[in-house]
Amino acid sequence: MSFMQHTDIGFGSTLTSEGCHFRLHSPDIITLEVVLFDKEGIPTARHSLERQESNSWHVFIRGIGENTGYAFLVTTATGPSAQWLLDPHAHRVQHQPASHPGYDLVTNPEWIAYTTCHDFDWQGCERPAIAPEKTILCEVHVKGYTKANPDLPANLRGTYSGLCHPATLAHFRQSGITCLQLMPIAAKADETHLSAKSLTNFWGYNPIAWSAPDERFASTDPVRECKTMIRTLHAHGIEVILDVVYNHTAEEGDGGPVFHFKTLDSHSYLKDELGQFKNYTGCGNTLDVSHPPMLQAILQSLRSWVLNYQVDGFRFDLATTLGRRQSHFSSESAFFTAIHNDPVLSSVKLIAEPWDIGPDGYQSGAFPAGWHECNDQFRDNWRSFWLHNAPVSAVAPHLLGSQAQFPAQHWPQKYSINYICYHDGFTLQDSVSFNDRHNHANGENNRDGHPDNRSNNQGTEGLAATAAIQKRRGKQKRNLMTSLLFSLGIPHLLGADLHSHSQHGNNNAYCQDNDTSWVNWALSSEEYNFRSWLQSLIQQRQTVMPVIMKAMTGKTSAPATISWLTPTGTPMDDQNWAMRQPYSCLIQADENNALFYLFNPDDYPVRFCLPSSLHSWTCLVDTAEDQLAARNIHQSDCLVRPVSMVILIPASENTGSRLIS
Which residues are tagged catalytic? Answer: 317, 353
Task: Return the bridge partners of 50, or none.
Answer: 58
> Does residue 399 contact residue 408 with C-beta atoms inside 8 Å?
no
Residues 6+ away with beta carbon under 8 Å from 296? 11, 25
- List % helix, strand, coil for the chain (3-state, nearest 5): 30, 20, 50
Residues 6+ away with beta carbon under 8 Å from 333? 289, 290, 322, 323, 324, 325
What's the half-sphere exposure (Cβ side, CA atoms, 13 Å) at 346? 11
Regarding beta strands 490-494 and 137-140, do their DSSP bridges make them parallel or antiparallel, or are they unpaired?
Answer: parallel
Write the DSSP assignment of 271-326 as a string of letters. Answer: B-TTSPBP-SSSSS--B-TTSHHHHHHHHHHHHHHHHHH---EEEETTGGGGGEET
Task: Return the bridge partners of 192, or none.
Answer: none
- State how far the Cα of 501 lies from the Cα of 433, in Å rounded to an integer: 11
Write the DSSP assignment of 434-485 as a string of letters. Answer: -SS---GGGSSTT--S-S------TTSSSS---HHHHHHHHHHHHHHHHHHH
- State how far the Cα of 193 lies from the Cα of 553, in Å rounded to an integer: 49
The one-letter code for the residue type at 186 is: A
The one-letter code for the residue type at 295 is: L
Three state DSSP letters for 68-107? CEEEEEEECCCCCCCEEECCCCCCCEEECCCCCCCCCCCC
Write the DSSP assignment of 119-178 as a string of letters. Answer: ----TT-------GGG--EEEE-HHHHHTT-TTS-GGGTTSHHHHTSHHHHHHHHHHT--
Residue 206 is given by DSSP the state S
Which of 605, 473, 599 is closest to 526 using CA atoms?
A: 473
Residues 6+ away with beta carbon under 8 Å from 274? none
Residue 245 is given by DSSP the state -
- State how far the Cα of 471 lies from the Cα of 19, in Å rounded to an integer: 65
Classified as helix, coil or strand, 207 is strand
**Measured CA angle at 399 (ends 536, 367), to 5 deg:** 110
Helix or strand (DSSP H, E) at 334:
helix 334-341
What's the half-sphere exposure (Cβ side, CA atoms, 13 Å) at 67? 7
What's the half-sphere exposure (Cβ side, CA atoms, 13 Å) at 472? 20
